[in-house]
Structure 1
Amino acid sequence: MTTASQVATHVTAADPAHPAIGAATSLLDAYTPGARFLATPTRTLLAHGVRAEVPHDERPLHERVAAALEAARAAGQPAPVVVGAVPFDHTAPAALAIPETVRTAPPLTADPLVALPAAAPDAADLTVRQVPEPAGYEAGVAAAVDRMWAGEFSKVVLARTLEVSSPEPLDVQGMLERLARRDPAGYTFALPTSEDRTLLGASPELLVSRRGGRVVANPLAGSTPRSADLAEDVRRAAALLESAKDLHEHAVVVDAVHQALAPHCSELTVPAKPTLIRTATMWHLSTTVTGTLASPATSALELACALHPTPAVCGTPTDLARRVIAETEPFDRGFFTGMVGWGDADGDGEWVVTIRCAEAEERSLRLYAGAGIVSASQPEAETAETAAKFRTFLSAVGASL
């Protein structure tokens, strides 16, 4: 019988290891900062070392990645995989690499040991600073709403951040454990973005995946905080399904996904109405778009680049929304609302929207959360929504607003 400790160290990302009890959680437990960890509903992946980094140049990103993967295969790596993160600004350098070794296992949800609780965060004298402060964020939302009523644009996603400082080095491994065990059915990641910085988080949103000729996208837009009271939680979920404001916001995103994928697919199925998905802290309107790829040469990353950024993280029209974001947000988004994921030399892969995330350095952490602003938005409600989204990560750190 295969045990967790016997999982191969050179397994392709499309060929999960034997589903032994503990196989997935052993990879989670084996993570250390500097490694690349990614857990999705289809697999758990842990990679070490760097065989090659994807260069930053004038070529489209998917072409650079394809060339790097082909070069790795030509150099003798039988099944190279690229893993990493792409920033919100598509002109900025990505943090993508072909690792030396890749270990995979079934998804965390297939491992009964994921139900065991992670250790609670150590008590620490953490300092939390809001950027911008709620009043400043609400002023930005109100100004955007005024511009929408004036007809300038129809939606923009505005974010705010929390700067968390610790007198002691942060426990990145512990934070990852708590994120993964709290929402094992989602997309949990910890990826180096520089020599001393780690991007980690637990996103609920699949941007796009490709396996063979099958394409899946799962846009989320329209959300409400969950409640600890069961009756109130159900009431909030039902209200979200009937909210004209949230249904409109969701429809804009689904239409954009449809329009971006249609040129690449011979067949595309888009449900007429959204459903609900839940995380530990939020309810989201969700639509699962499925399709058949028109050309086997189109990779998962090429599809992801065609989609990015969707109105769910930027707005519409896209170029104007980007300008409004740059004018309003007093920080650089970096990898927040970009994408993280993996891809192989055959074009298969999974790319996830980088939300519910933070960037960690030795003693500091920057958390991000955003809200979709439309003409019906209320500034106080959007501040409350971002505060609820922060809770996913704050609970993993042991901090609060």
Structure 2
Amino acid sequence: MTTVSTEPAVGSAAEPVAAYRPGASSLFASPRGTLLAEGTYFAVPPSGRRDALADLDRRVQAVLGVAEAAGHSVRTVVGAVPFAPDAHAQLVVPLHLRRGRPMGPGEPARPAMQSINRLHPVPAPDRYAAAVDRAVREIGDGRYTKVVLARSLRADAPGFDPAPVVRALAAREPGGYTFGVDLGGGRTLLGASPELLVSRHGRQVAAHPLAGSAARSADPAEDARRAAALLRSEKDRHEHAVVTRAVADALRPFCAQLTVPAEPTLVRTNTMWHLGTLVTGTVADPAVSALTLAAALHPTPAVCGTPTTAARTAIGELEPFDRGFYTGMVGWVDAAGDGEWAVTIRCAVADGGGLDLFAGAGIVAGSDPEAELAETSAKLGTMLAALGLSTEQADVS
């Protein structure tokens, strides 16, 4: 397969963001650039296997081969992969592809004010705290060592338009990964993830796992204190080390060289502080694509837990909803194997009646149910702020 692209040259960042239309296009904006996929030329077909990730790269390469054989100018697949291994991914070769430069810091984005009739949590806050308490007991019994438990917030908003929210997120979080992906059937996956699962550009690989979090404060002194406390926290540093080690172990078989810093650093978003470690390396085989690497990493302990199988089972027992695309991966890969995949967090799924927001927290031995509830409330703040709501107004805790 040729690696020569006939896709358009890079333009300004504003062009693809302004042109984004839910239902007709998908947007992915990262610190490296913006990408707008318009229409569908060819969709990646479902897998016949129980573990759909196992043959995902093969199916993507087959579709890219069809595009090349037909002389189609776009040689890139864009979309999202769900959390569950047997669920169908939403990945397409678009009819048209626009690329733009990265979003830069500019004027603060105005909230995308829309009429929301009601907000209701799933599960109720006290039931979420009870699930955390049960998970801590099961960890104590040796069933697993960590599980990530999520909750959802349903916003009833008939006629909801995701476009202004996606644009607001892109402006608010230019250092993150903003996305608006058409899921079909009038549904849109939207959000602004702070976490890079993996990227590959040429033979250079990068992953930026995040684990260990603290809510931001509007008071600068208190905000600095929280950041410093997070960096010192033994619990959070241990949780982060487990995730970083898992990411490095998954990447190492594919890499001729891999650099893993010994100490995490602080990563800042508008609503949260995170511990992060930037893992970098060089692929040994240039035929290994960004999607191959992403599939090898998914799901990391940061969104599932450890051991993976036991944590998945616990999630199925303790969460009263299907995660769908939440804690999956979102991004793109091209015919040369280059691409970027972000972890699908700080996100929502919109439909004609409103949207479902998601947030989770990593539960380990010693986790406090009320503290984990507060962490999920803070994480919901990313999407709530883009909607023009505060966590207090939403009454999420």
- The TM-score, its normalising length taken from structure 1, stands at 0.92
Match of 1:84 among 74, 79, 86: 79
From the superposition, tell whether residues 254 and 228 of structure 1 become closer, same or farther in structure 2 (CA, over 3 Å). same
State how many pairs are aligned. Answer: 381
Instruction: Give the match for residue 260 of structure 1.
Output: 250
Matched residues in 2 for 1:340 and 1:282: separation? 21
From the superposition, tell whether residues 57 and 272 of structure 1 become closer, same or farther in structure 2 (CA, over 3 Å). same
- Verify the 8 A CA contact 2:15 2:100 in the aligned structure 1: no
Match of 1:148 among 125, 139, 142: 139
Matched residues in 2 for 1:78 and 1:16: separation? 12
Match of 1:68 among 63, 69, 79: 63
Return the offset for 1:58.
3.0
**Any residues of structure 2 matched to 1:192-271 within 5 Å, and which?**
192-271=182-261
SS at match of 1:331: coil
**Any residues of structure 2 matched to 1:24-103 within 5 Å, and which?**
24-34=13-23, 35-58=25-48, 60-103=55-98
- Verify the 8 A CA contact 1:11 1:104 in the aligned structure 2: no
- Verify the 8 A CA contact 1:11 1:103 in the aligned structure 2: no
Match of 1:172 among 162, 168, 187: 162
Deviates more, 1:169-178 or 1:371-380: 169-178
Instruction: Give the match for residue 350 of structure 2.
Output: 360
Q: Aligned AA for 2:188?
A: T
Residues 138-159 of structure 1 show CA distances to partners (whole Å, capped at 9, x for unaligned) of 1110111111112221100000
Matched residues in 1 for 2:123 and 2:275: separation? 27
**Any residues of structure 2 matched to 1:123-162 within 5 Å, and which?**
124-162=115-153
Instruction: Give the match for residue 10 of structure 2.
Output: 17
Instruction: Give the match for residue 7 of structure 1.
Output: none
Return the offset for 1:122.
3.4
Return the offset for 1:26.
2.3
- Verify the 8 A CA contact 2:74 2:96 in the aligned structure 1: no
**Any residues of structure 2 matched to 1:245-394 within 5 Å, and which?**
245-394=235-384
Matched residues in 1 for 2:62 and 2:70: separation? 12
SS at match of 2:352: coil
Matched residues in 1 for 2:48 and 2:174: separation? 38
SS at match of 1:330: coil
Matched residues in 1 for 2:267 and 2:114: separation? 32
SS at match of 1:271: coil
Matched residues in 2 for 1:291 and 1:125: separation? 45
- Verify the 8 A CA contact 1:11 1:17 in the aligned structure 2: no
Matched residues in 1 for 2:387 and 2:113: separation? 9
Return the offset for 1:78.
4.0
Deviates more, 1:117-126 or 1:227-236: 117-126
Instruction: Give the match for residue 6 of structure 1.
Output: none
Return the offset for 1:359.
0.2
Matched residues in 1 for 2:48 and 2:297: separation? 19
From the superposition, tell whether residues 345 and 277 of structure 1 become closer, same or farther in structure 2 (CA, over 3 Å). same
Return the offset for 1:119.
4.1
- The TM-score, its normalising length taken from structure 2, stands at 0.93
- Verify the 8 A CA contact 2:122 2:153 in the aligned structure 1: yes
Instruction: Give the match for residue 5 of structure 1.
Output: none
From the superposition, tell whether residues 125 and 258 of structure 1 become closer, same or farther in structure 2 (CA, over 3 Å). closer
Matched residues in 2 for 1:377 and 1:54: separation? 41
Q: Aligned AA for 2:18?
A: D
Return the offset for 1:117.
3.9
- Verify the 8 A CA contact 1:225 1:281 in the aligned structure 2: yes
Matched residues in 2 for 1:165 and 1:333: separation? 18
From the superposition, tell whether residues 340 and 123 of structure 1 become closer, same or farther in structure 2 (CA, over 3 Å). closer
From the superposition, tell whether residues 376 and 396 of structure 1 become closer, same or farther in structure 2 (CA, over 3 Å). same
Residues 187-240 of structure 1 show CA distances to partners (whole Å, capped at 9, x for unaligned) of 000001122100000000000000111110000000000000000000000000
Q: Aligned AA for 1:181?
A: A
Matched residues in 2 for 1:11 and 1:121: separation? 36
SS at match of 2:45: coil
- Verify the 8 A CA contact 1:52 1:99 in the aligned structure 2: yes
Matched residues in 2 for 1:273 and 1:125: separation? 43
From the superposition, tell whether residues 83 and 123 of structure 1 become closer, same or farther in structure 2 (CA, over 3 Å). closer
Residues 295-335 of structure 1 show CA distances to partners (whole Å, capped at 9, x for unaligned) of 11111000000000000000000000000000000000000
Q: Aligned AA for 1:387?
A: S
Q: Aligned AA for 2:106?
A: A
Return the offset for 1:11.
6.5
Q: Aligned AA for 1:31?
A: Y
SS at match of 1:116: coil
Matched residues in 1 for 2:363 and 2:124: separation? 18
**Aligned residues with identical type, % of pairs:** 55
Matched residues in 1 for 2:141 and 2:113: separation? 50
Instruction: Give the match for residue 52 of structure 2.
Output: none
Matched residues in 2 for 1:258 and 1:85: separation? 23
